């Protein structure tokens, strides 16, 4: 019995020893595995809980959807008023010389053209008559002025002669004339005396004395006349004679001046009348030319290749907008359509209100056109609306009354390249490069909290649970660009709470 018990004890002790040899390493292994598991989980949790400020190449591109619209348009302008007789259908391919629209110009335009032609002829005749009267008046008045001027010159010469008296040569001429007359008188007297002696001595007949008496009387008269002329002309001028000559000069001078001023005033009035008639004639000619152009310009032809698109008009009958059609009345200088130049397009897109501050004009854009196998084109933001509207009002065919409640801003993008395959209203995918790709310090977007767009600041929580203010902006959707407040390599909590 005792022996059996000892044997049993030995077996138990041996089993316990063997179990201890096997179990202890297992327990140790389990403890080591548990410790490694907890360390690994802790490191993984620590890695997942924090983010490192990293420098990486990142940019900011805003992706939007848009559509092509015609940028090259040749408007079709009417030169006539009347009823549309014929108009090309929308979307028709046109070539130079194709008839686009025809206006009925018969009836009222013909009557108006005849009336304008008659008015133009009357204005032309009136202008011709007025110009003839003006030339005739000027010619007659200037002839009178010339005559008055000649009279004035003569009067001035007489006045100067009266004031100056005899010149030395004139006085000497008068003296010589008087001396000659005296010599002639003495010769006649001597001849008469000689003939008288002959008669008294009976050598000549008394009848012969008559001729000598007449010669003596004539010589005496001529001598007396020369003396009187010399006395009159050699005497100083009388005051009344000088005054009369001066008044004659002044009278003619005033008459000449008054005649010149009167001519100027009369010609000025007639020139003003002519200018008015010229302007009226030009007006009547312009009206006639416009009416004639309107009368003969009822047919409008295409000047280029393209696609015709009629414009819309308000139909009072149906109370709707619709394309211009035959039978509709249109006025002169109305636009009835456009010829869209093939391949010359621009892109329209809509910028969400949350992204409007990221976009400015002249930003580079990458455009993909799905209809052209996503071919890539480049361009730039040309214009950006400053007033937001509902998406349904901005978007293509957004004429429905139901509003979306989403505010967007319309943007226009110009293309650097054209493609003949472009068609209006093709869809496009737009990538606006708000920031070019460059090396920047970035954090995950969710690591920044309390962000204020007004001063571009936010807060992060550091690894030691300290809160720090940072300056920057959200870019590329998932990142925050750190401009100030953190350095490369610093760690912050991945989620700001």
CA–CA separation, 174 and 165 (whole Å): 13
> Per-residue pLDDT for 6 more than 80?
no
Name, of 11-25, 116-130, 326-340, 444-458, the range with top average pLDDT. 116-130
pLDDT, residue 188, reads: 87
**What residues are paired with 415 via a beta bridge?**
379
> Per-residue pLDDT for 227 more than 90?
no
> Per-residue pLDDT for 428 more than 90?
yes
Domain 63-67+341-493: assigned CATH number = 2.40.30.170
pLDDT band at 437 (very low <50, low <70, confident <90, very high): confident
Average predicted confidence (pLDDT) for the chain: 83
In the chain, the percentage of residues whose pLDDT exceeds 90 is 29
Does domain 76-105+298-340 fall into CATH 2.40.50.100? yes
What are the residue boundaries of the structural domains of the chain, listed by start?
63-67+341-493, 76-105+298-340
pLDDT, residue 71, reads: 87
User: What is the average pLDDT across 360-368?
Assistant: 94
> Per-residue pLDDT for 323 more than 60?
yes
pLDDT, residue 427, reads: 93
Report if pTM > 0.85.
no
User: What is the average pLDDT across 122-142?
Assistant: 92
> Per-residue pLDDT for 233 more than 80?
no
Residue 174: C-alpha distances to residues 164, 186, 486 (Å): 16, 18, 130
């Amino acid at each position: 019995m005792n022996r059996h018990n000892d044997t049993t004890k030995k077996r138990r002790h041996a089993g316990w020893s063997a179990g201890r040899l096997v179990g202890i390493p297992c327990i140790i292994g389990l403890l080591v595995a548990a410790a490694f598991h907890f360390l690994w989980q802790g490191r993984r949790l620590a890695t997942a809980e924090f983010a490192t400020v990293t420098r990486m190449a990142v940019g900011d591109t805003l992706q939007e959807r848009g559509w092509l619209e015609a940028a090259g348009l040749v408007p079709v302008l009417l030169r006539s008023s009347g009823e549309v007789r014929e108009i090309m259908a929308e979307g028709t391919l046109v070539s130079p010389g194709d008839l686009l629209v025809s206006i009925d110009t018969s009836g009222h335009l013909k009557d108006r053209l005849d009336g304008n032609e008659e008015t133009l002829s009357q204005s032309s005749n009136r202008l011709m008559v007025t110009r003839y009267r003006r030339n005739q008046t000027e010619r007659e008045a200037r002839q009178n002025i010339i005559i008055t001027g000649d009279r004035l010159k003569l009067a001035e010469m007489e006045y100067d002669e009266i004031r100056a008296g005899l010149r030395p040569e004139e006085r000497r001429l008068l003296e010589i004339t008087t001396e000659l007359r005296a010599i002639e008188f003495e010769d006649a007297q001597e001849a008469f005396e000689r003939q008288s002696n002959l008669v008294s001595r009976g050598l000549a007949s008394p009848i012969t004395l008559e001729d000598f008496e007449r010669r003596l009387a004539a010589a005496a008269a001529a001598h007396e006349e020369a003396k009187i002329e010399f006395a009159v002309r050699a005497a100083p001028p009388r005051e009344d004679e000088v005054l009369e000559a001066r008044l004659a000069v002044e009278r003619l001078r005033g008459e000449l001046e008054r005649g010149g001023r009167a001519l100027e005033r009369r010609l000025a009035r007639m020139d003003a009348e002519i200018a008015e008639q010229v302007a009226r004639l030009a007006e009547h000619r312009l009206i006639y030319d416009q009416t004639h152009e309107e009368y003969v310009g009822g047919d409008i032809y295409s000047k280029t290749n393209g696609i015709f698109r009629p414009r819309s008009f308000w139909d009072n009958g149906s109370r709707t907008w619709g394309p211009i059609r035959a039978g509709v009345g249109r006025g002169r200088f109305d636009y009835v359509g456009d010829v869209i130049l093939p391949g010359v397009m621009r892109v329209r897109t809509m910028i969400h209100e949350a992204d409007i501050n990221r976009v400015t004009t002249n930003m580079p854009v990458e455009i993909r056109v799905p209809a052209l196998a996503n071919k890539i084109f480049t361009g730039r933001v040309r214009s950006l609306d400053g007033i937001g509207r509902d998406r349904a009002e901005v978007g293509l065919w957004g004429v429905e009354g139901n509003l979306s409640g989403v505010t967007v801003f319309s943007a226009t993008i110009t293309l650097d390249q054209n493609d003949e395959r472009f068609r209006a209203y093709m869809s496009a995918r737009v990538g606006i490069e708000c920031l070019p790709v460059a090396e920047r310090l970035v954090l995950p977007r969710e690591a920044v909290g309390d962000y204020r767009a007004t001063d571009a600041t936010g807060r992060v929580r550091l690894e030691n649970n300290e809160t720090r203010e940072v300056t920057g902006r959200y870019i590329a959707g998932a990142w925050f660009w750190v401009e100030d407040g953190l350095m490369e390599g610093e760690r912050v909590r991945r989620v700001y709470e």
